[in-house]
A and B are shown apart, each in its own frame.
Chain A
């Protein structure tokens, strides 16, 4: 044990030491580009030389589409090069404020509606009106409205999400082929009152382990084999469309972010309906399965254990790749106010710290045009937010024999605005645990929403 190191080992240690010293001096990354452009940093402003603009986004599929678009852009503007910087979704909203705050931010970056206001307030992004002088009519209106704040537009619309339902044709025709024709015309009414055909349809489609449908006596709601529907604590797919289609509101609107979801009776009705589908009628999975697992319903649908999966354009690729059965797309069930989607788009915002304002303006003009935006549609990855570029997306899916017209209709139909925020998740951290309890059926809907609203408003100082 105590004998000195043998020669060999000492030599090995020395080599290891020397190696590490060498690595310190010249550590190399195989993926480092030859041009040494640091992704994420401010690009160097060049006078007469080539200018490089960096562009931050979170979606790797859309990134590929952008790369094609930027090649085209550089062809038209040989002195400007654009580099994409992918910061994945899981980390995007943690990293963005840190980088914006320290100034180490890309010239352009994607943002969503709950995060842009704080950057506008802090003067960290430039508004479109003063950058380009005008708003393009071709930009999808709900998205423009969503990002209009203090009478200015804070980003160029790039992606418009649209809502709809995916339905498993084979499950439904096994139950009763006549139901298929009803799918696009489903209606819901508060308390499943007169005019409601959603609940009765879902009851027919939900089957327990013993083969009994939810309409049968002795139906075992605790052991379901085939779920009718994915009613769940899911903002974009479920409860926002239900709130909108009942004429309810989430926030006050008209420039105020104050939450009203607990005091607006129509919003409360929408929640009561969804929670009843889960806990009273058992036509949807238990919230214990879905609250913390956003993939549960998608996987049940793909496994053929769910008849109707309400979602949006964002799951189209997942379903197209994964579904091994006959399926189709239809509009969301209509409430008293009609069939609603969520106006939730993605825009590209311009950092106020950019040193290449002229190049940035050129690129923004390109990205806001049908010519620039169509690359996203052609890749099939997302629905373009420039309406004149949307046909490229429809064509992509038509080539795959998938009819996406319901989504296009939804994108141009009625929408409820996605949540607006002044940054951070203080308010959602306040209401989120209470809403989860409501969906689990442990907290009454009405009093729970009132309590959640009060806490959320307190968190944002209202």
Chain B
């Protein structure tokens, strides 16, 4: 009895011992700054002078600002454009690469290039590609399209660049997921007369659900925080309010351009809460549907 308790105690001590470094790091450099940010969100602060207590005013003015809601809408539109596209393309790319045809390693390196490169400079190069006069894209299609200043084309153009950047990254995870799908189950299905398409939809896809959850959860989180590509390509424009003025761009501009740290913090706290709710909802949805457990 005491022996078992002693062992449980020991296990607990070892567990917390192993967690100690990361708990210190995450506590000190993530949790405390977030608590500070929450405190600042109730202040009026321009960085230069000391913060002054303001109460919930920042939250009220942020939540009643139609431009903020516009930014949430743009971010949602962006997410809807980017996430399904890059997930489907990434999955498709992974399927093609998993065939291990000759030359596959070369393609794997090529498709990794966009996500290993710094996003800010890529945004600038893409701006040249989309330039109305002298841009590569218009030179190819032979007509003048003003991609980044057109109300209906700007967001799709920015989304395209995001998809271009991240498809290889998504494919990486699906490639790994595909290699974990047991061949014998697929083969058994083929023996039972299922076609390739049937095997893919009925066997492979359900087995990839955990991968899909991970890919969706992390890419939705990052798409709600997209900043670099927008900053480099459109600066939030065109129009007022801007057709590509995503929420992270608004927070950045509030904090570092308009020097309104209180409002910026309030908005980022709202964004954080929104993301946590969104991820929990996804988790609930997927948990009901994950029927196979690949890892175990």
Say yes or no: A426-B48 contact (C-beta < 8 A), given A292-B234, A433-B240: no
Number of B residues, CB within 8 Å of A: 27
User: B25 to chain A: closest CB distance in Å?
Assistant: 14
Query: Contact between A288 and B48 (Cβ–Cβ < 8 Å)?
Result: no
Residues of B within 8 A of A285 (CB): 133
Query: Contact between B257 and A425 (Cβ–Cβ < 8 Å)?
Result: yes
Interface residues on A, range: 20 to 34
User: B263 to chain A: closest CB distance in Å?
Assistant: 10
Query: Contact between A424 and B46 (Cβ–Cβ < 8 Å)?
Result: yes
Q: In the docked arrangement, what's the CA distance between A124 and B48, Å?
A: 8
Who on chain B is nearest to A287 by CB? B149
User: B235 to chain A: closest CB distance in Å?
Assistant: 6
Asked if B253 is at the interface (CB within 8 A of a chain A CB), the reply is yes
Tell which of A94, A119, A223, A436 touches B237, judged by Cβ atoms closer than 8 Å: A436
Say yes or no: A433-B242 contact (C-beta < 8 A), given A101-B48, A122-B49, A288-B132: yes
Query: Contact between B241 and A425 (Cβ–Cβ < 8 Å)?
Result: no
Query: Contact between A434 and B240 (Cβ–Cβ < 8 Å)?
Result: yes
Query: Contact between B242 and A426 (Cβ–Cβ < 8 Å)?
Result: no
Q: Give 1 or 0 for each of A402-440: 1 = CB within 8 Å of chain B CB.
A: 000000000000000000000111100100011011001
Say yes or no: A426-B237 contact (C-beta < 8 A), given A287-B149, A433-B242: no
Query: Contact between B149 and A440 (Cβ–Cβ < 8 Å)?
Result: yes
Q: In the docked arrangement, what's the CA distance between A93 and B133, Å?
A: 31
Who on chain A is nearest to B150 by CB? A288
Residues of B within 8 A of A437 (CB): 238-240
Query: Contact between B257 and A122 (Cβ–Cβ < 8 Å)?
Result: no
Residues of B within 8 A of A423 (CB): 46, 48, 259
User: B54 to chain A: closest CB distance in Å?
Assistant: 15
Who on chain A is nearest to B235 by CB? A292
User: B118 to chain A: closest CB distance in Å?
Assistant: 15
Query: Contact between A426 and B46 (Cβ–Cβ < 8 Å)?
Result: no
Q: In the docked arrangement, what's the CA distance between A45 and B207, Å?
A: 68
Who on chain A is nearest to B257 by CB? A425
Asked if B88 is at the interface (CB within 8 A of a chain A CB), the reply is no
Q: Which of A75-123 contact B (CB under 8 A)?
A: 93-94, 97-98, 100-101, 118-119, 122
Q: Give 1 or 0 for each of A273-309: 1 = CB within 8 Å of chain B CB.
A: 0000000000001111101110010000000000000
Q: In the docked arrangement, what's the CA distance between A434 and B240, Å?
A: 6
Q: Which of B133-153 contact A (CB under 8 A)?
A: 133, 144, 146, 148-149
Asked if B47 is at the interface (CB within 8 A of a chain A CB), the reply is yes
Can you identify 29 A-B contacts, CB atoms within 8 angstroms? Answer: A94-B256, A97-B47, A98-B47, A118-B46, A122-B48, A286-B132, A286-B133, A288-B132, A288-B146, A289-B131, A291-B149, A291-B237, A291-B238, A292-B127, A292-B149, A293-B127, A293-B131, A423-B46, A424-B46, A424-B259, A424-B260, A425-B257, A426-B259, A426-B260, A433-B237, A436-B237, A437-B238, A437-B240, A459-B258
Apart from the given pairs A286-B133, A286-B146, A440-B149, 4 other A-B contacts in the complex at a CB distance below 8 Å: A223-B144, A287-B149, A292-B148, A426-B260
